[in-house]
Each structure stands twice: as C-alpha cells, then as structure tokens.
Amino acid sequence: MQKIQVLMVCMGNICRSPMAHGVFAQRIREAGLDHAIEVDSAGTHSYHVGEPPDRRAQAAARARGYELGGQRARRLEAQDFLDFDYILVMDDENLRSARKLQPADGKARLYRFLEFAGARAEREVPDPYYGGSQGFATVMDLVEDAATGFLSHLRERHRL
C-alpha cells in the first residue's frame, strides 16, 4: 500500500504549518497509521528556507506534548502537487499562492486546513508571527481540531 502524502502549507513554514505538521504527525502515530500516512510542511514564500520552526511555535507545541525541532522550512513547489495527495493551506492568501503553482496535471487535493475543524466558525488559521504567545496558543487549538477532523476524513475516505 502506498502511503497517503499530506503537505501542510503556510506563508514562511516556521509557525502555522510546522505546528500543524507536528500535531498531525502525532495523531498519525497515536492512531497507529504511520504505515499509511506521511506528513510534511512547506511555505508559499522563501523567507525562512532551511530554518527550524519559530521558537515561540516550538514552545507552544512543546507545552502540549508535540516536538517540532527536527523540521526545517522549505518552499512549496509545483512538484509538490504531483508528489502529495493532499495540500492543506492555513489561509486564503496561501490558497491563492498555492493555486498559482498548481499544475494542470497535479493530483493533490487542495483544501483550507480548517475545513476539517468541525463546527468552528473560523475559516483561516491566523498568522501568530507578529503577536504574542496567545496567538500561538490559538493556532494550537485550531490545528489540533483540524488534525483530528482531517484524520477522521482520511479514515473514512481511504478506509483506514
């Protein structure tokens, strides 16, 4: 069985998408689905390529039991639409940027991550970069809900 490939995307790949990546990776492990699903993350801009996640993102994640330290920022590329099955963006700006890169023959399904967050009113994961620690806690709340919902979606759709 070929693994389902999932890519989390935000602007710089140092806050929201690494947090979503870390949370979803743990959800996969907890569900015993490491053999079936793989997750990565990328950014629509190259501001931070090669850098680890923002220290505040790492602290917010660590406070809830997630480890992000092994991740390094990279930029979203057109090839990702051929390599990944799902590309999950954090906001509408990321969605527009991703669509510009999306080749006609790309197989990836493109969604806003919060489409999987259940009954939440929010449509976008807000960028916490210029704010304080509360913004990172809010992002953690949102990505935890969306990760749980997205895993349920994959289980139903792919009979996992």
Written as one string, the DSSP assignment of 110-152 is EEEGGGGSTT-S--S----TTS-HHHHHHHHHHHHHHHHHHHH
Question: Does the annotation count 16 as an active-site position?
Answer: yes
**What pLDDT does 119 receive?**
86
**Under 8 Å between Cβ of 72 and 50:** yes
Question: Does the annotation count 10 as an active-site position?
Answer: yes
**Which residues, given as ranges, of the chain have pLDDT below 50?**
none
Please tell me the total count of domains within the chain. Answer: 1
The answer to pTM > 0.85 is yes
Please report, for the domain that includes residue 152, its CATH number. Answer: 3.40.50.2300
Q: Which residue has the tokens 């913004």?
A: 135
Supply angle C-alpha 158, 85, 27, rounded to 5: 65
Quote the domain boundaries for residue 112.
Answer: 4-158
Question: Does the annotation count 29 as an active-site position?
Answer: no
- Given the residues 40, 80, 91, 127, select the one marked as catalytic: 127
**What pLDDT does 154 receive?**
98
Supply angle C-alpha 124, 129, 132, rounded to 5: 105
Residues 6+ positions from 87 with CB-CB distance below 8 Å: 7, 9, 76, 80, 81, 98, 108, 109, 110, 111
Instruction: Record the tokens describing residue 76, joined without a space.
Output: 């979203």
